Amino acid sequence: MFYQRPTLSKFLIEHLRGAPSEQDLSALLVDVAAAVKTIAAVVAKGQLHFRGEAAPDRATVNVHGEVQKPLDVLTNEIVLRHCEWGGLVAGMVSEELDEPYPIPADHRRGRYLLVFDPLDGSSNIDVNVSVGSIFSVLRHDTEAPPGPRDYLQPGHRQIAAGYAIYGPTTMLVLTVGNGTHGFTLDREIGNFILTHPDLRIPSETSEFAINTSNERFWEPPVQRYVGECKEGRSGIRERDFNMRWIASMVAEVHRILMRGGVFMYPRDTKDPKKPGRLRLLYEANPMALLVEQAGGRGSTGRGPLLDVQPESIHQRIPVVLGSHEEVERIERYHREFEDGTDRPFVSPLFNERSLFRPEAL
């Protein structure tokens, strides 16, 4: 029966039982899940929630220069309020806050750091497309309050990561270092139930996700890869590919975990001040860990995402995630571009115009 499947709490107890040093981790993840349930209810109401509370034009701008919608601000507050009081976290970092959030003085500080994007893809709210929340848990093993540098840990030091997706159903997908597992919210009983244990991404794919409106700004290796995919069966890949683009990282990665594929938000020249679009700490790193725990690969295009040493809490980075062989191919194309082996040899003696220039005749 469906109700014989483990709840999130039972799953965490069983999977963290052998790790006494992480005994509080399950409690923190239950707090995160409670925040997800609250956000799911708010998102489901949409604009109904703001009648008489906030008009759509009361927008602010966050640290990234992006417009914050009322739901961005509200969902950020929901996560903070659910996770600050339990004595489990020492501090938090959010996409919506300029600086790390210190735990109030009347609350006990814990041993973990929580970094999160409270509402990924919020620009899709107005068109009723799936959005989500992303989070990552890091250790903080000192008694001192954490400063910004304490959050600058490479992705392989994450002890848990996950996302929630608010769609036709609400799902929580997470890893505690032993695979990637999906839980579906049963609204009747208010519990997350394990419905997708041990998700695995196929090593190959015939589906890719990228914003092709930026094609003119891409680097040659990305143009090469996408061009080959678009050539389909008649090109060197000898099979047809489908392209997808939702403009919500959570929705893109969820599709990849469910049926394979590759997601790319690569480096481009559109804004030279931004080497990438997505944030390393609370978007790229947790998603890369989830993908790799499911047998996929996370990369900057030039190397493993999880090995990148963060330099600032809101650092941006290029992102390539998904099926292992496809991501490796994209990395190879970057190497071949940088060492020049992707360019065909051209002899000046046998050029189209050769040595006999028409104007000399």
Binding-site positions for Mg(2+): 95, 117, 119-120, 283
Q: Cα Rg for the chain, rounded, in angstroms?
A: 23
Supply the DSSP string of 153-197, one letter for each residue: --GGG-SEEEEEEESSSEEEEEESSS--EEEEEETTTTEEEEEE-
Question: What phi-psi label fits residue 177: left (phi over 0), alpha (psi between -120 and 50 degrees) or beta?
Answer: left
Closest residue by Cα to residue 33 from 12, 64, 60? 12
How many C-beta atoms lie closer than 10 Å to residue 177's C-beta? 14
Would you list which residues are annotated within the binding site for substrate?
Answer: 120-123, 211
Would you list which residues are annotated within the binding site?
Answer: 95, 117, 119-123, 211, 283
Nearest 5°: CA angle at 283, between 65 and 261?
A: 120
> How far is it, in rounded angstroms, from Cα 78 to Cα 110?
19
Is the Cα torsion angle 174, 278, 32, 155 positive or negative in sign? positive
> How far is it, in rounded angstroms, from Cα 288 to Cα 300?
10
Angle between helix 70-83 and helix 25-45 axes, rounded to 10 deg: 150
Can you tell me whether residue 316 is helix, strand or coil?
strand
β-bridge partners, 265: 319
Residues in CB range of 354: below 8 A, 6 or more apart: none
Closest residue by Cα to residue 119 from 78, 75, 80, 79? 75
Per DSSP, 106 falls in state T
